[in-house]
């Protein structure tokens, strides 16, 4: 079996949050969460999901995140600023090491996600992030370091 197939086989996720616009799965053995974001997310729902995710990351000593944005529409500029400020503030003392972002083909969505990271970079975060278009590549990178 190829290394990538083995990687998928050993990951046991349990769903910790399921909403219309987001599903968050947790693999406790690997200290990993997988966030799948979908559609045009109303501000209140996006912000609630971000707060939940950040609190879950801290409470469970999460080190790795697979953030799947492939089906998500670009958030408003106001939401981008809010997400960057609040997530950076909450996660600056977390145990995060790596965040792999699965990006959509939509250029506006890519720019929005990059904008969030740029704004959040004003706070020193303990992790490295990288963008991907293929899930297997993202997982391989997450576990390579």
| pLDDT at position 15 | 97
Count Cβ neighbours within 10 Å for each residue of 94-116 and write b for 16 or more, e otherwise. bebebbbbbbbeeeebbebbebb
Specify burial of residue 60 (Cβ count, 10 A radius: 0-12, 13-18, 19+): middle
Q: What's 40's DSSP letter? A: -
CA 100 to CA 109: how far, in whole Å? 16
CA separation for the pair 138, 110 (Å, rounded): 16
Asked if pLDDT for residue 133 goes beyond 60, the answer is yes
Instruction: Give Cα 100 to chain centroid, integer Å.
Output: 7
Per-residue pLDDT, averaged over 54-66, amounts to 96
Give the pLDDT of residue 81: 85
Q: Do the beta carbons of residue 15 and residue 25 sit within 8 Å? A: yes
- The whole model's pTM is what? 0.84
What tens digit of pLDDT does each residue of 21-53 get?
999 999 999 999 999 999 999 999 999 999 999
Tens of pLDDT, residue by residue over 5-19, are 445 557 889 999 999
Residue with tokens 């219309």: 20
Structural domains of the chain, ranges and CATH numbers in brackets: 23-142 (3.30.750.24)
Query: Reduced to 3 states, what is the DSSP secondary structure of residue 2?
Result: coil
């Amino acid at each position: 079996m190829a290394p990538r197939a083995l990687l998928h086989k050993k990951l046991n996720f349990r769903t910790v949050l399921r909403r219309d616009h987001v599903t968050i799965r947790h693999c406790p053995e690997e200290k990993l969460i997988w966030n799948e974001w979908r559609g045009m997310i109303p501000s209140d729902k996006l912000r609630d999901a971000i707060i939940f995710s950040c609190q879950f990351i801290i409470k469970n000593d999460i080190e790795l995140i697979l953030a799947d944005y492939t089906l998500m529409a670009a958030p408003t500029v106001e939401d981008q600023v809010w997400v960057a400020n609040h997530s950076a503030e909450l996660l600056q003392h977390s145990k995060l090491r790596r965040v792999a972002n699965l990006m959509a083909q939509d250029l506006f969505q890519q720019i929005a996600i990059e904008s969030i990271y740029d704004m959040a970079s004003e706070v020193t975060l303990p992790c490295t992030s990288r963008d991907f278009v293929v899930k297997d590549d993202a997982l391989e990178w997450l576990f390579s370091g």
